[in-house]
Structure 1
């Protein structure tokens, strides 16, 4: 099993273990928001597209900013939360440490050493749409279930902004 397949399996297993209702659809690779919008329309997906930004915080520290489409990173706030100025991790770091494909970072299911920065807007959405890893798959998860999903993750979590 490839790292990307393992990531996908971890996400699906977590949802099943927690008995969280979800919808999984298969489609062409989604690596940009216009394609995501077309997929959302074609499959009548409800909700808001996630936006996950993989950050390098220090030489060996990483974080995943989990937000929604259109959100912009507040770098000063991120520095305050993380204790040092983050930068966007390279595509190579993203793939090596998460298994994700560049332009399609999965927000959940990562090594416990990756801190999650959870945008409050994520918790406010009716449904969150995100890739469980492979860019050809999209999950639709009720926003009301996100607190349970987050509580089951081993990652340190910080509220953002």
Structure 2
């Protein structure tokens, strides 16, 4: 099993173990928002598309900023929150540390050493759409279940902004 397949399985296993209703849709690879919108229309997916940015904080320190489509990062606030100036990690770092494909970062299921930075707006959505790893899969998860999903993550978590 590849790292990407393991990431996907961790996400699916976690949703199942927490009895979180979800919908998994298989489709062409989604690596941009226009394709994500087309997939959402075709399959009648509800909710808001997630946006996950893999950040390098310092040597060997990483964080995953989990926000919503269209959200812009406030780098000053992130620096204050994380303790040092973050930058977007390279594609190679993303793949090495998460198993994710560039342009399709999964927000959950990562090594505990990766801090999750959760945009508060994520917690207010009716449904969150995200890839569990492979760009050809999308999960639709009820927003009401996100606190339970986050509580089950082994990662340190920070609220943003």
Q: TM-score, normalised by structure 1?
A: 1.00
Question: What residue is the counterpart of 1:60 in the other structure?
Answer: 60
Deviation for aligned residue 1:157 = 0.2
Question: What residue is the counterpart of 1:95 in the other structure?
Answer: 95
- Paired residue secondary structure (1:84): coil
Task: List gaps (5 residues or longer) in structure 1.
Answer: none
CA distance in 1, matches of 2:5, 2:65: 22
CA distance in 1, matches of 2:105, 2:61: 17
- Paired residue secondary structure (1:128): strand
Q: Does 1:12 align with 2:3?
A: no
Give 1:1-40 correspondences, 5 Å limit: 1-40=1-40
CA distance in 1, matches of 2:14, 2:27: 22
Deviation for aligned residue 1:117 = 0.3
Deviation for aligned residue 1:126 = 0.1
CA distance in 2, matches of 1:145, 1:16: 12
Question: What residue is the counterpart of 1:85 in the other structure?
Answer: 85
Q: TM-score, normalised by structure 2?
A: 1.00
What is the RMSD of the two structures over their aligned residues, measured on CA atoms? 0.2
Question: What residue is the counterpart of 1:114 in the other structure?
Answer: 114
Deviations 1:19-45 (A, max 9, x none): 000000000000000000000000000
Deviations 1:68-125 (A, max 9, x none): 0000000000000000000000000000000000000000000000000000110000
CA distance in 2, matches of 1:68, 1:92: 23
Task: List gaps (5 residues or longer) in structure 2.
Answer: none
CA distance in 1, matches of 2:97, 2:71: 24
